[in-house]
Amino acid sequence: MANEMVRIAEVIVDVPANNTDRPFDYRIPPELQDDVQVGSRVLVPFGHRKVIGYCIGIKTASSSMRLKSIIDVMDMAPPLTPELVQLGQVMAEEYLCHTITALQSMVPAVLKGTYQKMVKLHPESREPLFSLLSDPEQQLYSLLEKRGECTWEEVNKIPGMSRSLLKKLIEEERILVEERIGDRVTKQKVTWVWAADADQLRSGLQTLSPRAVRQREILQYFLDHPGEVELSKLLTHIRTTRSTVKRLVEQGWLCWEEREQYRDPYGDRTFGKTEPLPLTKEQQRAFQAIVRPIHEKRAHTILLHGVTGSGKTEIYLQAIEEVLRQKREAIVLVPEISLTPQMVQRFKGRFGKQVAVLHSRLSNGERYDEWRKIRQGEVQIAIGARSAIFAPFQNLGLIIIDEEHETSYKQEENPKYHARDIAKWRAQAHGATLVLGSATPAVESYFKARTGEYEWIQLTERVHGRPFPEVQVVDMREELRKGNRSMFSQLLARSLKECIERGEQAVLFLNRRGFATFVMCRSCGETLICPHCDITLTYHQTNQTVRCHYCGYAERLPQTCPNCQSKHIRHFGTGTQRVEAELLRQFPDIKVIRMDVDTTSRKGAHERLLAQFRDGKAHVLLGTQMIAKGLDFPKVTLVGVIAADTMLHLPDFRAAERTFQLLMQVGGRAGRHEQPGKVIIQTYSPDHYSIHLAATYQTEMFYRQELLIRKRHVYPPFCSLFTIMISHVDRIHLMKYGQQMAQFIRNKAPADCHLLGPVPPPIAKLKDRYRLQMLIKCQTDPKVLVRLKHILHQIENMFDDRELVISMDREIMNFPVGYSDLLETSQSLI
Ligand code: ADP
Ligand code: ZN
Ligand code: ZN
């Protein structure tokens, strides 16, 4: 007995704080020996509370004298695989967040334990004399009798209910309050009914009294429809009640059973089965390059750099088929806004029920059910937005990131991960192939492809051989000179008129981020740029200054243009509503569908508006970037970009890249079909390389130019970037902390690290908290990074001030990989 080994679980508890961000040891009690595994969600005592945690390791020891025990295991199967547990730890390290935050980001929202207070009748309490109860007490009793239990919030909503009354009821042991840790959405149960013995149904009909009309109908139903039926369907079909069916079950004619059922968000749709298309030569070459590493089961990254319409999706579909043939699995990431029914259709059409779809418009319950299909091995393909990269597959063969340059792959709250980094890590762990697909890859990806870190495959032809639309750039400075002060150039106005007269449709595009205010001269197009950073200065109305949000440089708002002395220098920003109003003023008879965050916030609005446009219910679709991609409308022959500059002048070193990508994508919207298309780009900076090179389809030139600039000013991919944001309710305190941190970092950081700031970010005060930002550019040398991360951890604990919030973000150039032996270990553990 004395030298018997005990098993101990290392648990990361759901208490996100610096001093609890480490594993805590708990004894695994004998009755839970089989259930606690690496990746299990467990309930443990922590201080005076019970909290949820994740088991990240199991070890043995000779004694567990002073350890507390795990109270319970939350799920039948561990939500996380050992691979994901390890990934969570790497993420915490790399993204400088708490381990629990990283682990929780991998599971559906419903598994993020909620601490719910439930109210029940006390089991010992005697039935009260109803007439003696007060109104709120009566309501409480009838609620509890009807429902068995209800939440603390519900009880407090009862009119007239008070804390003191509840306290009294608890003290008198009439009600009971339980602190429950549970999942927000329970599994959906469905009752199925079938005939106990089909051969006996006829004799059953004879036995039943002729007056039992409904019962006879039900038996007749099963004679006509052999097999099982959902109770709810039966009830609506026969128009009968549950108790009638129950009587037949009690008499032994029927059986019923409650079964767990998945909510299938696409359950009511049928997807016509599609067959693989014969690939074009170019597609064939790309396909071969992708299946080669798949067959060799080696981790490998490919940049599939193909123009819009080059048939990338068909290549994905056929590569996935190869993966399924190997009995392996695939994850497909697409940007949230591309997860339209058309895209889902293409995957469901080819692979039917082998596909799980994960996106944010699903309810929590639907998401949970799709996720469980993956976890239980019932599907082999997961298609979804960013977080689908954590799909808990155990034998991944292929990960595809479509439109890999999209900003939505970066999560902006903790853990601030980029799906591309996670994909690389998982591909390494599984020996899987990673395909990054885009017509306009991220500059970093292009750089890695051209320097040999990724394999580079180009698709230069459109499948149907349609030419790219003609692009015309309109110089809006000229328009002003000609006396046109409207936001539509003469060319765009005329083209729009003609397009509508021909009975065709137009798409007008405006950038959502156009509201960020920058200063520009309307005569010469000059914008104010920081002399130190090559970043657009941002206008601050309060003190009439322009500032650099990277280095803090500031100057007074000039009255005249420093370039041409014109007085037409002003701050900019245009919204979709303003464009719509202007459009209707100039073209009173046209119908416009506006798509922006305001008109698409309700569930289903997005699809509905697009369907209306496709059905020809409007002449013009006016919108933000949500209309820039993935949509394919046969009747659209004109695409207009209202102001290509708006994004160009954001205080972001990626401004040129984003502008180029957007314009290329917008161009891809026109002329996908029989009629030739036309693209009109309005701009105040027609000579800016991002606009000029997009308009002439000079992709290669653009990347070269952009890389030169990145190199000169040392931005990614030529450095790693850390952003530190600190906030505090008190501005003086904040500034003091900021200065001290900056001093500390400057003193301790390796020589190659360069700190900029602290400066106020574009939003300098948020929710009554002042904010300061620091930027560290540093070498991507792993040794330098390790030291810097160590320093950043130190500053997290530098000040003992609960009001101070520190948040860090980073641009990772090289996510650590090299856990290729992991797959074997994780499989032996499962
Ligand atoms: P991308 O994703 O590169 O923009 P898509 O995969 O959407 O391109 O392909 C564009 C169109 O060409 C789609 O309508 C698709 O069905 C069609 N297509 C793709 N490959 C082939 C092929 N090999 N033969 C015929 N049509 C194809
Ligand atoms: Zn600057
Ligand atoms: Zn000027």
Q: What is the DSSP string of 64-102?
A: -TTPPBP-EE--SS-SS-HHHHHHHHHHHHHTT--HHHH
Distance CA 607, CA 737 (A): 48
Sequence-distant (≥ 6) Cβ neighbours of residue 718 within 8 angstroms: 710, 711
Ligand 3 ion: nearby residues, β-carbon < 5 Å: 521, 523-524, 526, 561, 563-564, 566
Q: Which ligand number lies closest to the CA of residue 565?
A: 3
According to the model, what pLDDT value does residue 86 have?
96
Q: Closest ligand 1 atom, CA of 316? A: 6
According to the model, what pLDDT value does residue 296 have?
95
Q: In this structure, which residue's CA is closest to atom 5 in ligand 1?
A: 311
Domain(s) labelled CATH 3.30.70.600 in the chain stretch across 720-810
Backbone angles phi, psi at 187, to 5 degrees: -70, 150
Give the Å distance between the CA of 687 and the centre of ligand 3: 15
What residues form the annotated binding site for Zn(2+)?
521, 524, 530, 533, 548, 551, 561, 564
Give the Å distance between the CA of 522 and the centre of ligand 3: 7
According to the model, what pLDDT value does residue 293 have?
97
Sign of the Cα pseudo-torsion (219, 225, 231, 236, in order): negative
- What helix, strand, coil percent values describe the chain, rounded to 5? 35, 25, 40
Residue 771 β-bridge partners: 727
DSSP string over 744-789? HHHHHS-TT-EEEEEE--SS-EETTEEEEEEEEEE---HHHHHHHH
Q: Which ligand number lies closest to the CA of residue 312?
A: 1
Query: How many residues are given for the chain?
Result: 830
Whether the upstream peptide bond of residue 415 has omega within 30° of 0, thus cis, is yes
Ligand 1 binding residues, C-beta < 6 A: 277-280, 283, 306, 308-314, 463
Q: In this structure, which residue's CA is closest to atom 18 in ligand 1?
A: 311
According to the model, what pLDDT value does residue 675 have?
66
Hey, which CATH number is domain 5-107, 3.40.1440.60, 3.40.50.1000, 1.10.1420.10, 1.10.3720.10?
Answer: 3.40.1440.60
Give the Å distance between the CA of 43 and the centre of ligand 3: 66
Homologous superfamily (CATH) of 470-513+574-711 is P-loop containing nucleotide triphosphate hydrolases (3.40.50.300)
Give the Å distance between the CA of 527 and the centre of ligand 2: 14
> Letter for the amino acid at 97?
C
Homologous superfamily (CATH) of 281-411+419-435+445-460 is P-loop containing nucleotide triphosphate hydrolases (3.40.50.300)
Candidate from 281, 313, 672 with most ligand 1 atoms within 8 A of CB, to mutate: 313
Distance CA 588, CA 582 (A): 10
According to the model, what pLDDT value does residue 269 have?
66
Nearest to 659, CA basis, from 651, 649, 668: 649
Q: Closest ligand 1 atom, CA of 459? A: 3
Q: Closest ligand 1 atom, CA of 278? A: 23
Q: In this structure, which residue's CA is closest to atom 26 in ligand 1?
A: 463
Give the Å distance between the CA of 548 and the centre of ligand 2: 5
Q: In this structure, which residue's CA is closest to atom 10 in ligand 1?
A: 309
Give the Å distance between the CA of 647 and the centre of ligand 3: 19
Candidate from 463, 669, 672 with most ligand 1 atoms within 8 A of CB, to mutate: 463
Instruction: Render the burial of 614-652: b for 16+ CB within 10 Å, e for the rest.
Output: beeebbbbbbbbbbbbbbebebbbbbbbbbbbbbbbbbb
Give the Å distance between the CA of 550 and the centre of ligand 2: 5
According to the model, what pLDDT value does residue 534 have?
66
Give the Å distance between the CA of 529 and the centre of ligand 2: 8
- Output the CATH code of domain 115-181: 1.10.10
What residues form the annotated binding site?
521, 524, 530, 533, 548, 551, 561, 564
Q: Which ligand number lies closest to the CA of residue 549?
A: 2
- Which pair of structure tokens corresponds to residue 674? 């029989």
Domain(s) labelled CATH 1.10.10 in the chain stretch across 115-181
Give the Å distance between the CA of 538 and the centre of ligand 3: 17
Q: In this structure, which residue's CA is closest to atom 24 in ligand 1?
A: 277
- Three-state SS annotation for 609-651: HHHHHHCCCCCEEEECHHHCCCCCCCCEEEEEECCCHHHHCCC
Domain(s) labelled CATH 3.40.1440.60 in the chain stretch across 5-107
Q: In this structure, which residue's CA is closest to atom 17 in ligand 1?
A: 311
Q: Closest ligand 1 atom, CA of 283? A: 23
Segment-wise mean pLDDT, segments of 10 residues, the chain, 830 residues: 76 90 93 90 90 94 83 85 96 91 91 72 74 84 80 82 83 78 56 83 82 86 84 81 85 82 66 87 97 96 93 96 97 82 86 90 82 93 95 97 93 91 96 96 95 94 82 92 89 94 90 59 82 73 73 85 86 67 88 78 76 91 73 82 79 87 79 72 92 92 93 88 90 94 92 86 73 86 82 86 87 53 32
- Which pair of structure tokens corresponds to residue 726? 């600190």
Give the Å distance between the CA of 315 and the centre of ligand 1: 9
Is-contact 678 670, C-beta < 8 A? Answer: yes
Residue found by looking up tokens 């009638």 in the block:
244
Is-contact 769 802, C-beta < 8 A? Answer: no
The residue ranges of DSSP E strands in 152-253, in sequence order, are 175-182, 188-195, 229-230
Is-contact 724 796, C-beta < 8 A? Answer: no
- Hey, is 811 helix, strand or coil? strand
Q: Closest ligand 1 atom, CA of 279? A: 23
Give the Å distance between the CA of 372 and the centre of ligand 2: 49
Q: In this structure, which residue's CA is closest to atom 19 in ligand 1?
A: 311
Q: Kind of pairing, strands 519-521 and 678-683?
A: unpaired
According to the model, what pLDDT value does residue 514 have?
37
> Letter for the amino acid at 455?
E
Q: Which ligand number lies closest to the CA of residue 281?
A: 1
Q: Which ligand number lies closest to the CA of residue 519?
A: 3
Domain(s) labelled CATH 3.40.50.300 in the chain stretch across 281-411+419-435+445-460, 470-513+574-711
Distance from the Cα of residue 580 to its chain's centroid: 30
Candidate from 283, 314, 383, 461 with most ligand 1 atoms within 8 A of CB, to mutate: 314
Hey, which CATH number is domain 720-810, 3.30.70.20, 3.40.50.1100, 3.40.50.1580, 3.30.70.600?
Answer: 3.30.70.600
Q: Which ligand number lies closest to the CA of residue 564?
A: 3
Is-contact 158 140, C-beta < 8 A? Answer: yes
Q: In this structure, which residue's CA is closest to atom 9 in ligand 1?
A: 311
Nearest to 429, CA basis, from 729, 818, 18: 818
pTM for the complete prediction? 0.78
Residue found by looking up tokens 């599939």 in the block:
304
Q: Closest ligand 1 atom, CA of 439? A: 3
